[in-house]
Amino acid sequence: MNIAEIAFFAPLIRHNLIVVGWILALATLGVVFLAIRVSRLRWQHRTGIGHGDHPDLERAIRAHANAVEYIPLTLLLFLVSALTTAPTRELEWFGAIFLLGRVLHAWGLSRNSGASWPRMIGMLSTLGVMILLAVQLCIPAMH
């Protein structure tokens, strides 16, 4: 890529990074919310480590852990997509779907440890966005 091409794509990349920044900020606030919820339940149940056979604490720990397991890798996919000039609208839609999925998953798991539609939709949304971003990043390498 030459200087003229870089200059042409600079505004798009800047806007894409702003979109990814929003996704990162909202996902971070979600993880902080889940961490505070775990801390509050630990205090309430006087449980320092583990879940102490308290089902609500066990679900809160898993909701937080699941977020920490999936969000970082997905945010890396968003970042690289933004830097490789992915369409901004696509990043916005994928980001909205991803964040909504994370909220649904955490909400569903916090309420019930069994199968539930919010958990299912949350995980399908998360995995779907991850797959779409990964495929999108692989396509240029195939040409």
What string of DSSP letters covers 34-93?
Answer: HHHHHHHHHHHHT-SSS-TT-HHHHHHHHHHHHHHHHHHHHHHHHHHHHHTT--HHHHHH
Rounded to 5 degrees, φ, ψ at 46 are 55, 50
pLDDT at 17: 92
Rounded to 5 degrees, φ, ψ at 133 are -65, -40
The pLDDT of residue 4 is above 80: no
pLDDT at 8: 58
pLDDT at 14: 86
Instruction: Give dist(CA 40, CA 47) in Å, integer.
Output: 10
68 contacts: CB under 8 Å, gap ≥ 6: 31
What CATH number should be reported for the domain holding residue 28? 1.20.120.550
21-38 pLDDT, tens digit per residue, is: 999 999 999 999 999 999
Alpha-carbon Rg for the chain, nearest whole angstrom, is: 18
Instruction: Give dist(CA 86, CA 80) in Å, integer.
Output: 9
> Tokens for 74?
């997905």
The pLDDT of residue 112 is above 90: no
Rounded to 5 degrees, φ, ψ at 74 are -65, -40
Tally of structural domains, the chain? 1
Q: How confident is the model at residue 115 (pLDDT cuts 50, 70, 90)?
A: confident
117-130 pLDDT, tens digit per residue, is: 999 999 999 999 99
Q: Could you give the percent of the chain with pLDDT greater than 90? A: 75
The pLDDT of residue 80 is above 60: yes
Predicted TM-score of the model (pTM) = 0.89
Q: What is the mean pLDDT of the chain?
A: 91
When pLDDT is averaged across residues 86-98 and rounded to a whole number, the result is 96
Instruction: Give dist(CA 10, CA 39) in Å, integer.
Output: 42
The pLDDT of residue 5 is above 80: no
pLDDT at 62: 95
CA distances from 22 to 16, 17, 65 (A): 10, 9, 22
Domain range spanning residue 121? 3-142
